[in-house]
Structure 1
Amino acid sequence: MRNRRSQQLHRAVRRASRAGNGPPPAGSVPRRPGPDWPRLVELTSVLLASVVAVLSLWFSDRQVSNQLRIARDELSTTKEGQITERYTAAVGQLGEDSVDVRLGGIYALQRNMQDRSRDHPTIANVLAAYLRTHAGTPPKGGKQAPPDVLAALDVISGRNSAHDGSFVPDLRSTHLPGVELGWDPSSPVAADRRRAQLRRAILRDCDLRDAHLSGADLRGARLARADLANADLRGADLRDATPARANLRDADLSDATLRKADLRGADLRGADLWGTDLRGAVLYRANLAGLTFGEARLDGADLRGADLTDAGISRDHILSVRIDSETKLPPRLARDPDVRARIARAEAENDGF
C-alpha cells in the first residue's frame, strides 16, 4: 500500500513538472526561452523608420542647398549684368555735351570702382584718359579747371590704391592749375586728412601752378618739366620723385620729404625749404639762388654745378653735400679753406674717374 502511494506521488510530481507548475526534476537541464518575435518586429520597425527619416532629411537638405546655390548664381549673374549695364551707361555719359551728365557718369564710375575692386584699375584708367582728353589744353580765360575735370581728378586721387594692380595715374601734359588736393592734418574730419594718392603718377609737363598738394603721396612721381610754381607742397612725400627741370619757383616745400629725389636742373628760386628733407637728393645744376635752407637736411645731396648765389646756407651744410668747382657759392663760403679743400678733393675724384 505504501509503495503504491509513493509511485502515485512521484507520477503526480512529474506531471506537474511537465506542465510548468513546479520545479524541474533533480538533474534535468533547464530549457532556453524562445525569441520574443513581437518585440523584435517592433524594434526593427522603429529602426527602419529612423533610417528613412534620416535619409529624407539628407535628401531634403541637399535639395535646399542646390536651390540656394542656384539662387545665388542667378543673383550673382543678375548683379554682374546690372554692374555691366551701369558701367556701360556711365562711360556713355562721359561723352555727353552737358557737364552735369558727365559729372553723373564720373560719380557712377566711382561707385562701380568701390563696389567691385577687380574693375578698379580699368575704371581708373578710363578716368585718367578722360583727364588727358578734357584737361589737355589750358582752361579758357586762365580760369580754374572745369567741374568735371576736378571731379575726375578727385576720384583718382582719392581712390583706394590697394586695388590699383597695374594701374599708374597717367596725367601727363594735363593742365590742372589751382587744383585742391591738399589735406589739413589738424582737422578732426577724416576726409580733410586724406592724402592725395599720386604715387608713381606720370605728371610730366603737367601744369600744376598754384595747386594745393599739401601732404600728397607723390613717391616716385615723374614730374619732369612740370610747372609747380607757387604750389603748396607742405609735408608732401616726394621720395624718389623725378621733378627734373621742374619749375618750383615760390613753391612751399616746408617739411616735405624729397629724399633721393631727382631735382637736376630744377628752378627752386623763392621756394620755402624750411625743414625740408633733401638727403641724397640730386640738385645737379639746380637754381637755388637766394634760397634760405633753414632747418633743411642736405646730407649727401648732390649740388654739383648748382647756383647757390646769395643762398642762406651754412658752412656745415656745404661740407655735408657733394659740390664741385662749378657750384656757385656765396663769397664767404667760396673763400672758406675747408670748402675749397672739399672742392679740390671732388675734382681729384672726378679726374681719377
Structure 2
Amino acid sequence: MTGVNSATPPRRRRLARVSAGLNRPDEQSDPSRISKVGNTIGKAVTWDGWLKLGAVVTAVGVLVGFWFTDHSLQATNRQIEASNRQLVLAQQTEITDRLAKAVEELDNQGLDARMGGIYLLGQLAHDSIENRSVAFEIIGAYVRTHAAYPAEVPRQMDSYKCNSDGKITPDIQAALTVIGHRDSPAEEPVDLSETCLNYAQLMNLDFRNVDLTRSGLMNAEIKASTFVGSRFQDVSFVGARTTDTDFRNACFAGTILTYTSLTGDDLRGATFDGGYLKRTGLTNVKVGSTTLHAMDIRQTDLTGLDMSQVTVQDLFANDENHWPPGFTPPPLTDRAGIAPGCQ
C-alpha cells in the first residue's frame, strides 16, 4: 500500500512538468541579451561612418545629376546646331536668290530695272561679306561692257567721242555711286579700266583701289572724294572739275589734265609723269613731295603753289607759264615726255 501511495500519479507528473515550464525564465528577457542589443543599436546610431556614407551618397547623386545635365545640354546643343545649319542654309539660299535676281535685272531692257539690279548688288555686298567681291566683280563687268571705251577713239583731246551722246547713262552713274560707297574700299578692288565715264558725278565717294587705266573722265565733276594711291594710267580728265578731293600718293602717268580745274585738292606725294597739265587751273592745291616729270605744263599758272618740296624735271613749258615768286624753273624741254607707267 505504501509503495502504491507514494507513487505519483501520471496526471500529476504531467502537471508538475507544465508548472515547471511555466516557471522557467524567458530567454528573450535575459538582461544580458537585451544589453547587447542595446549596445549594438547604440553603436549603429553613433557610428561615425554615417557622415562618410552620406557624403558618398551625396556625391553619387551629384554625379548622376551632372550626367543627366550633360546629356541634356548635349541634346540641346545638337538641336541648336541643327537649327543654326538650317538658318545658314536658308540665308545662303536667300542670298543666292537675291544674286540671281540682281543679275537677271541687269540683263533687262528697261533702264529702271537695270538700275534696280545694280542697287540690289550693292545691298547684297553690304549684307554678305562672303559675296561682296562677287557683287563688285559683276558691277565692274557691267560698267566695262555697257560703257566700254571704243578702240577706234583716241585717248587724247578726242576723248569726248567715246560715247555717242557725250554723257554716261543713269545706270552707269548708279554703278559708280554704289562702287564709291563700298564698306571696305581698300579690300575690294574694282576694275573699271578702258571705260568711258565722261560727265560722271563723283561726289563724296571713295574710289581707292579702283582701276581706271585708259579710261575717259572728260568733264567729270569730282568733289570731296578719295583717290588715295590711285593709278591714273593714260586717263583723260579733259575739262574735268575736281574740288576738295584727296589725290595723295596717286600716280598720273600719261594722264591728260588739259583744261582741268583743280580747287582745294590734296596732291601731296602724287606723281605726274609724261602727261598733260596744259592750261590747267590750280587753286589752293596742296603739294609736297610731289613730282612733275616730263609734263606739258604750257599756259598753266603755278603762282599759287608752294614748290619748295616739289621735284621738277624735264618740263615742257613756254613764256606763258607763271611760276611762284622766288622759284627758278629747271631747264625746260620742247615737248612732253613719254610716261614709263605707274609702278
1:155 matched to 2:178? The reply is: yes
Aligned equivalents of 1:80, 1:65: Cα separation in 2: 22
Amino acid in the other structure paired with 1:74: Q
Unmatched segments (≥5 aa) in structure 2: 1-29, 150-161, 336-343
Contact 1:158 1:197 in 2 (8 A): yes
Q: Are the structure 2 counterparts of residues 31 and 128 from structure 1 closer, same or farther at C-alpha, using a change threshold of 3 Å?
A: closer
Whether 2:97 is the aligned partner of 1:90: answer no
CA distance in 1 between counterparts of 2:194 and 2:59 reads 82
- In structure 2, distance between residues paired with 1:47 and 1:288: 91
| Cα shift readout 1:66-91 (whole Å, capped 9, x = no counterpart) | 10111111111121122122212222
1:331-350 maps to which residues of 2 (within 5 A)? none
| CA drift at 1:64 | 1.1
- Shift in Å, 1:181: 1.3
Mapped contact 2:317–2:332 kept (Cα < 8 A): no
- Letter in structure 2 aligned against 1:203: L
Question: Structure 1 unaligned runs (5+)?
Answer: 1-14, 21-29, 184-195, 329-353
Residue 307 (structure 1) shift: 0.7
**1:49 Cα deviation after fit:** 5.4
Deviation (angstroms), 1:40: 5.9
Bigger Rg, which one: 2
2:333 to 326, 334, 337: 326
1:229 & 1:295 partners in 2: Cα distance?
21
Counterpart Cα distance in 2 of 1:75 and 1:66: 14
Task: Report which structure shows greater RCO (CA 8 Å, sep ≥6).
Answer: 2
Task: Please say if residues 278 and 301 of structure 1, whose CA atoms lie closer than 8 Å, have aligned partners that are also in contact.
Answer: no
Query: Which residue identity lines up with residue 153 of structure 1 in the other structure?
Result: L
Q: Is 1:34 the counterpart of 2:46 in the alignment?
A: no
| Cα distance in 1 between the residues matched to 2:63 and 2:230 | 70
Q: Say whether residues 1:271 and 2:280 are aligned partners.
A: yes
The alpha-carbon deviation at position 130 of structure 1 amounts to: 0.6
* Residues 305, 324 of structure 2: 8 Å contact kept: no
CA 1:170–1:35 in 2, change beyond 3 Å: closer, same or farther?
Answer: same
User: For 1:261 and 1:306, how far apart are their aligned partners in 2?
Assistant: 19
1:126 corresponds to: 138
Q: One-letter code of the match for 1:131?
A: V
The TM-score with structure 1 as length reference comes to 0.70
Counterpart for residue 168 of structure 1: 189
Determine what percentage of the aligned residue pairs are the same residue: 21
Matched, 1:145 2:193: no
Aligned residue number for residue 310 of structure 1: 320
Provide the rounded CA distance (Å) in 1 between the counterparts of 2:246 and 2:304.
17
1:61 to 56, 63, 73: 73
CA RMSD of aligned residues (A): 3.3
Match in the other structure for 2:229: 220
TM-score by length of 2: 0.72
CA–CA distance in 2 between the matches of 1:262 and 1:50?
A: 75
| Aligned counterpart, 1:283 | 292
Structure 1 residue identity aligned to 2:302: F
For 2:193, give the aligned amino acid: R
State how far apart, in whole Å, the 2-side matches of 1:300 and 1:104 are: 46
The one-letter amino acid paired with 1:156 is I
Deviation, structure 1 residue 65 = 1.4
Greater strand content: 2
